[in-house]
């Protein structure tokens, strides 16, 4: 297939490009910069200069493709609501191009959208339309696009990691460096599900090749890694204390990242594994945290 991949030079995209090329697909990869375009050419992909702020130009990339994988997202969490609105605009633009065809559109969401309730594992069959995250809007829109005849497939991500980056944990590492301590809230029993970036790339490929309209997949290897374990590994890596904070103290330490640091996001991928034959095998989250160079962590 000729696959239009947004965010092709980003964290997940950089793992996904060789995975798709290795399976015999042609990749038309979006990038913001000429440096990114050069990197894509060197990898064997075809570059397409585009930005999220111009959904009509992204749509033209989709017109040239047999499938779309939408990984691009602006991760400035201080502008989270606005960035989620940009994501919805891109989905709408892709939907207009792909409506009435069998060309798949795989877009990216988070495992929290499938939570059945506090303390329970998020699952693929649930869409929590009351979830307070602004990313909920993209999943609601995806449901409507399916009704309109678009083959939309949802990829729900946990904390995706390697030794350079670890999803939402990366900005928490930067906060620990800045504050001189690695923190968790109260007893540290809240959890993040996780998966290695190489395994997530495999799942995106399987989803675009085999996914059916309306299906949702959880890219989860580990169902729940406790925040106290994460903070301990970060503190040991940085050589700073790891401490428990009250919720009041956490507000000052985490700032706007507090909305993520307090979440409990365990998730299952049992259905995903059975449906697509996905068998993750990469390093676990704590192993990557212990093996990373904490001086070069990427936000």
pLDDT tens, residue by residue, 253-283: 999 888 888 899 999 999 999 999 999 999 9
The pLDDT of residue 256: 83
Is 80 exceeded by the pLDDT of residue 3?
yes
Answer yes or no: are the C-beta atoms of 36 and 60 closer than 8 Å: no
CA quadruple 97, 102, 106, 110: dihedral sign: positive
pTM for the complete prediction?
Answer: 0.95
pLDDT band, residue 77 (cuts 50/70/90): confident
- Mean of the pLDDT values across residues 63-69? 98
Is 80 exceeded by the pLDDT of residue 298?
no
Average pLDDT, the chain: 95
Q: Provide, rounded to the nearest whole percent, the portion of the chain with pLDDT above 70.
A: 99
Answer yes or no: are the C-beta atoms of 243 and 181 closer than 8 Å: yes
What whole-number distance in Å separates Cα of residue 11 and Cα of residue 201?
Answer: 10
SS3 294: coil
Axis crossing angle, helix 247-254 with helix 169-179, rounded to the nearest 10: 90
- 218 has which bridge partners? 156
The pLDDT of residue 75: 83
The pLDDT of residue 299: 60
The pLDDT of residue 193: 98
The pLDDT of residue 235: 95
Tens-place pLDDT, residues 209-219: 999 999 999 99
Q: Provide, rounded to the nearest whole percent, the portion of the chain with pLDDT above 90.
A: 90
| Nearest by Cα to 62 from 45, 74, 48 | 48
């Amino acid at each position: 297939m000729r696959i239009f991949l947004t965010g092709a030079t980003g964290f997940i995209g950089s793992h996904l490009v060789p995975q798709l090329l290795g399976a015999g697909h042609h990749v038309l990869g979006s990038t913001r910069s000429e440096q990114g375009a050069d990197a894509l050419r060197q990898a064997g992909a075809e570059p397409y200069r585009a930005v999220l702020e111009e959904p009509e130009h992204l749509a033209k990339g989709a017109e040239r493709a047999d499938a779309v994988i939408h990984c691009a997202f602006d991760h400035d969490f201080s502008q989270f609501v606005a960035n989620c609105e940009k994501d919805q605009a891109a989905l709408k633009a892709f939907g207009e191009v792909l409506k009435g065809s069998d060309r798949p559109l795989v877009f990216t969401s988070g495992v929290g959208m499938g939570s059945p309730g506090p303390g329970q594992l998020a699952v693929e069959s649930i869409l929590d339309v009351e979830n307070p995250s602004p990313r909920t809007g993209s999943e609601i829109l995806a449901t409507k696009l399916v009704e309109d005849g678009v083959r939309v497939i949802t990829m729900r991500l946990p904390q995706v990691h390697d030794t350079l980056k670890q999803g939402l944990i990366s900005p928490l590492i930067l906060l620990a460096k800045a504050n001189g301590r690695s923190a968790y809230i109260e007893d540290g029993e809240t959890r993040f599900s996780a998966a290695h970036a190489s395994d997530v790339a495999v799942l995106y490929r399987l989803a675009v090749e085999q996914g059916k309209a309306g299906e949702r997949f959880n890219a989860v290897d580990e169902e729940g890694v406790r925040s106290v374990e994460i903070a301990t590994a970060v503190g040991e890596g940085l050589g700073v204390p790891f401490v428990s904070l009250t919720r009041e103290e956490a507000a000052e330490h985490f700032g706007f990242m507090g909305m993520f640091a307090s979440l409990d996001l365990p998730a299952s991928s049992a259905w995903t594994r059975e449906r697509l034959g996905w068998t993750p095998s990469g390093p676990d989250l704590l192993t990557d945290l212990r093996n990373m160079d904490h001086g070069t962590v990427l936000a």
